[in-house]
Structure 1
Amino acid sequence: MTRYALTRLALLLLGLLVASVLIFVTLRVLPGDVAQLIAGTQATPGQVAALREGLGLDLPLWEQYLSWIGGVLTGDLGSSMLTGTPVASELLQKAQVTVPLGLMSLGIAIVFAVPLGVLSAILRRRAGGTLMSVGTQALAAVPVVWAGMMLVIVFAVWLGWLPAQGFPRTGWTTPWQAIRSLLLPAITIGIVEGAMLLRFVRSATLQAIGQDYVRTAAAKGLTRSQALLRHGLPNVALSVITVLGLQVAGIIVGAVVIEQLFTLPGIGRMLVADVGSRDLVKVQGELLVLTGFVLIVGFAVDLLHRVLDPRQREAS
């Protein structure tokens, strides 16, 4: 197990290194001059050149990359080219919105998908199971923006139960207001991601129903549903854990879109604004943190799968 963990850790670090190079190079080949944007249209060529030198943009790309990655290794993601604010401090501030939003979305997706997916598989030959399957197919095809707009119309405009936009200025010092402001966005992401997870849970459950150990348990006196719940679902859970790790990326992408729709001051909204203003240092720091988070989740899922699945431990 230790050797496996060290191997996965090495791959994680290699993935982060490759991601940092790709992020850095991709941002540098985008059209536009950051120095010209900061200096304004009235600046002279000499002023733009001086600003470019002050920002270090006149250095070779490899020197710029080594300077940036050296700071990252010490916990310094740099400072904003426009405001001079440390990127790490802004990320920590915005994470107070994005992280709870992601956790709430993931929780809603699990609560929505797992029981309904199992039930849909058990009722596969009945009208209820067919109806859930068709409904899930339709829901999985719904764009997250459209789903968010529909939820706003119903729960914010018509019923007035939840706020349509914004996050309290007092932040988490007023926890109930903060939770209420995140509830609609989290439901939006959770239902859309949960629909895709539900389809996988249903498929994995159907596969478990046909396994010999489930049929054997049923032959010993258990009903098919009891045999599935006692012996089939543990194996389904292993597959679901893997898919949940992959869905973290979908939740992050959904958060970028939803934070725009609900005007939430999170990392996603900050990232979109920084891309528009060409604040390269902030953008590359934000993208590296988000990429690293996805890779770390994948690393954790691999280790958890290894711990929970005895077949993998025996194979090593």
Structure 2
Amino acid sequence: MTRFVLTRLVLLVIGLFVASALIFTTLRVLPGDVAQVIAGTDSTPEQVQAIRVSLGLDRPLPAQYVDWIGGILHGDLGRSMLTGSSVTDQLLQKAQVTVPLALLSLLIALVISIPLGILSAIKHRGAAGAAMSMSSQAIAAIPVVWAGMILVAVFAVTLHWFPPQGFPRAGWDEPARALYALLLPALTIGVVEGAVLLRFIRSAALEAMGQDYVRTAAAKGLTRTRALITHGLPNVALTVVSVLALQIAGLLVGAVIIEQLFNLPGIGRMLVADVGNRDLEKVQGEILAMTGLVLVIGTAVDILARVIDPRQRESAA
């Protein structure tokens, strides 16, 4: 187990290094010039070049990359080329919206998918199971922005249950208002992601119901539902854990879109604005932070899956 954990940690470091190189290189080949953006449309070539020199953009790309990585190793993701503000500080500030949104979305997805996925498997031969299966497939196919527009039209515009947009200026100093503002965006992401997760849970539960130990438990007098819950849930839990890494990536992508739709001051909205402004230093720090989060969660999920499933430990041994 120790060797597996160390291997995963080494792969995590390698993955972060490769991701940083790809992010840095990709952003440098995009069209546009941040120095021109800062100087304005009426600037002279000499003024633009002076800004490039002051920002270090005239230096060789390998030197710029080494400086950036050196700062990251000291906990510094760089500074905005436009405002000079710390990227790390900006990320921590915006994360106060994005992280609760992602966690609340994940909670909603799990609350929807786990019981309905198991129920859909138990009732798979009946009309209820078929209806849940078809509904989950239909909902999973809906783009998250369409789902958001539908929910806004129904629950915000028509029923007036939720605010259509915005986040309180006081932020989490007013926790009730802040949570209320995030409920509809989180519901938008959670319903779509929950439908995707439901299909995996249903398949895992159906597979577990066909295992000998579940059939044996049922033969000893347990109902099919109780046999599945008592003896088959570990397999279902393993599927949930394995899929969560992919779901987290989907939640982050969904958050970028939903923050635009609901006018939330989170990381996704900030990232879109910084891309438009060609603030390379800030954009590369934001993308690397989000990529690193996905890689860290994926590594944690792999380790947790090994802990949950003794068969993986035995095969490794």
TM-score normalized by structure 1? 0.99
Which residue is equivalent to 2:5?
Answer: 5
One-letter amino acid of the structure 1 residue matched with residue 100 of structure 2: P
- Write out per-residue CA displacement over residues 146-190 of structure 1, whole angstroms, 9 at most, x where no aligned residue: 111111111111111111100000000100000000000000000
Q: Does 1:164 align with 2:164?
A: yes
Which residue is equivalent to 2:197?
Answer: 197
Alpha-carbon shift at residue 58 of structure 1 (Å): 0.4
Name the CA distance, whole Å, in 2 between partners of 1:61 and 1:141: 42
Which residue is equivalent to 1:124?
Answer: 124
- Write out per-residue CA displacement over residues 73-119 of structure 1, whole angstroms, 9 at most, x where no aligned residue: 10111110001111000000000000000000000000000100110
Name the CA distance, whole Å, in 1 between partners of 2:119 and 2:310: 27
Report the count of equivalent residues.
Answer: 316
- Secondary structure at the aligned position of 2:95 is classed as helix
- Write out per-residue CA displacement over residues 247-288 of structure 1, whole angstroms, 9 at most, x where no aligned residue: 100000000000000000000000000000000000000000
Q: Which runs of 5+ in 1 are unaligned?
A: none
- Residues 72-83 of structure 1: pairs in structure 2 closer than 5 A: 72-83=72-83
Name the CA distance, whole Å, in 2 between partners of 1:33 and 1:293: 29
One-letter amino acid of the structure 2 residue matched with residue 173 of structure 1: D
Alpha-carbon shift at residue 308 of structure 1 (Å): 1.2
Q: Does 1:296 align with 2:296?
A: yes
Name the CA distance, whole Å, in 2 between partners of 1:247 and 1:132: 20
Name the CA distance, whole Å, in 1 between partners of 2:137 and 2:315: 37
Q: Does 1:30 align with 2:69?
A: no
Please identify, of 121-130 and 93-102, the stretch whose mean Cα deviation from structure 2 is larger: 121-130
Name the CA distance, whole Å, in 2 between partners of 1:235 and 1:32: 51
- Secondary structure at the aligned position of 1:58 is classed as coil
One-letter amino acid of the structure 2 residue matched with residue 42 of structure 1: D
Which residue is equivalent to 1:134?
Answer: 134
Q: Does 1:217 align with 2:220?
A: no
Which residue is equivalent to 1:19?
Answer: 19
TM-score normalized by structure 2? 0.98
Alpha-carbon shift at residue 240 of structure 1 (Å): 1.1
- Secondary structure at the aligned position of 2:134 is classed as helix
Which residue is equivalent to 2:62?
Answer: 62
- Write out per-residue CA displacement over residues 16-40 of structure 1, whole angstroms, 9 at most, x where no aligned residue: 0000000000000001111111111
- Residues 164-313 of structure 1: pairs in structure 2 closer than 5 A: 164-313=164-313
One-letter amino acid of the structure 2 residue matched with residue 56 of structure 1: G
Alpha-carbon shift at residue 315 of structure 1 (Å): 2.2
Which residue is equivalent to 2:144?
Answer: 144
Which residue is equivalent to 1:94?
Answer: 94
Which residue is equivalent to 1:42?
Answer: 42
CA RMSD across the alignment: 0.7
Q: Which runs of 5+ in 2 are unaligned?
A: none
Name the CA distance, whole Å, in 1 between partners of 2:276 and 2:233: 47
| Structure 1 stretches of 4+ moved >6 Å | none
Name the CA distance, whole Å, in 2 between partners of 1:74 and 1:304: 29
- Write out per-residue CA displacement over residues 124-161 of structure 1, whole angstroms, 9 at most, x where no aligned residue: 11111111111111111111111111111111111111
Name the CA distance, whole Å, in 2 between partners of 1:38 and 1:173: 35
One-letter amino acid of the structure 1 residue matched with residue 161 of structure 2: W
Name the CA distance, whole Å, in 1 between partners of 2:247 and 2:22: 22
- Write out per-residue CA displacement over residues 210-269 of structure 1, whole angstroms, 9 at most, x where no aligned residue: 111111111111121111111111111111111012110000000000000000000000
Which residue is equivalent to 2:154?
Answer: 154
- Secondary structure at the aligned position of 2:89 is classed as helix
Name the CA distance, whole Å, in 2 between partners of 1:88 and 1:295: 19
Q: Percent identity?
A: 70
Alpha-carbon shift at residue 192 of structure 1 (Å): 0.4
Alpha-carbon shift at residue 200 of structure 1 (Å): 0.7
Name the CA distance, whole Å, in 2 between partners of 1:48 and 1:10: 42
One-letter amino acid of the structure 2 residue matched with residue 272 of structure 1: V
Alpha-carbon shift at residue 309 of structure 1 (Å): 1.2
- Write out per-residue CA displacement over residues 37-89 of structure 1, whole angstroms, 9 at most, x where no aligned residue: 11111111111111101110101100000011100110111110001111000
